[in-house]
A and B are shown apart, each in its own frame.
Chain A
Amino acid sequence: MDDVFLSISPTNERNIAPRAGRCRMTRDVVETSSLTKRFGSLVAVDNIDLSVRAGEVFGFLGPNGAGKTTTVRILCGLMAPTSGRATVVGHDVVKEPEEVKQRIGYMPQSYGLYDDLTVEENLDFFGSVYRVPPDEKRKRLNEILQLVRLEESRKQFSGQLSGGMKRRLSLAVSLIHNPELLILDEPTAGIDPPLRRVFWEYFRNLNQRGVTFFINTHYMDEAELCDRLALINYGRLVAIGTPTELKRKAVGGERVELVTVDSAKTLAALEGAESVREISVSDGIVQLVVDEASSAIPRLASLLREHGVEVLQIRQSQPSLEDVFIKLVQETGDKSRQ
């Protein structure tokens, strides 16, 4: 099901121009340097440097307790960092938190809207709080309700909504003032796969209209959908890059799978072959790690033919992001123990 989304919008085709009337001082929507947050002896966020470019969907990936929520709260101006700096939409989050808040949308991990207000009243309240002019507010309210498909529930008390509807309302509220950056803290945690899919449709839809996304997640399938990912563990940045780059980093190259009639003979033939970094065999399938799969595959195929090995199948295999995640996280785990 992931392919569907991957095909939606390649990065270079996206409209990343700033919207009219907004002057963007920097192309980096989020920029942190040596960002650190301590709670007593616990270092929740440890010296994080990262930058998020305008128009991208940036994934912030890490296990529970890695420091994702704390980071996001600092970026939203809800919490002061212990040290380091963070600039969001061109403003320092400590010095000018209100400027930041006015121009970003934030969806907290836990649902935090007023149960005794209706869907419409919640949106209306937050619209006024962000000082959206009444006419524009009414227009946006209708647009957003349409987007998150809550038009029919607009008069319902939000306390009566189902879990998934509450999440949709939560997203709607974060959109009411037309923010240029959306910071979402595990927006799809605890909701069913079909709805998660719908959420990512919303995200892509908004992204195409120029909204930058900063999304906390620990779902691998969601991470695949991000333009770039930052991997965080024990509060430290483990890796940053596109999903492909991260995979390459974790594997130490690219992976090629070989299916042959005689795997022992295959191993002998590949002994000492240049460009092959690692070889392993499982269930009769030979796994290779090479620098670049596309150029290595024809060379390997001819090499094996020369040695009289019959090749049934040779193809590049993608490691799952899950493997990558576990591998990179384990490496840092080891490092931190040293």
Chain B
Amino acid sequence: MQLLEAAWLVTRKDLLIEFRSREILYTTLFFAVSVMLVFSFSFVREGVAVEGAAAGILWVAIAFSGTLALGRAFERERQNETLRGLLMSPAERPALYLGKLAGILLLLAAVEVIVVPMVAVMFQAPLFRYPVLMSGLLLTGTLGFAAVGTLFAAMLVRTRSRDVLLPLLLYPITVPVIIAGVRGTAALLQADADLPMARAWLSMLVFFDVVFLTLALWTFEAVMTE
């Protein structure tokens, strides 16, 4: 219970700061929309989108804007060394991790609320045909990406070249998550939706989430100590 209380305190604090500054939300949203616009010039010809492009574009927008959000979320903790203030508290380290993760997830969810309908309109993608499965893919995919990203962003917060290192470390590890997200979404978007395939990719994402979350919770204390 104390773990969840401390995690909620951290999440609430992050959301309050973001509500006041709106810095991460606007930056990530602007970036995600820009990515979609650029892709739309390449993949939409005479008003018709290239088949299968929407799934990839959606997940590229989520992954790239997510990386931006991760970097900024921890940059805030570095600027005034507030991370040390958190580490000095008696809160369990996993609570700090879960708190930061939940804050990033909620921010990315807010971005997805805008981005998903935009992809649906710009690329004529039937993203709302199977809302439960689609939401499941988005939730588990974003969770897997953010679970690893939160750990790496925390790990790199004191390094000088963190902006370069974060994507270098994050993308190779999260490639399975992004592939599963893209393939699962593509299975839902094809003319004759392949529901068993989408469910299989969803199961794969749940598996990745469990593995990544367990590893992150296990290693976070050691990563943050020095």
| A-B complex is real | no
Binding site for A on B (CB under 8 A): none
A binding-site residues for B, Cβ under 8 Å: none
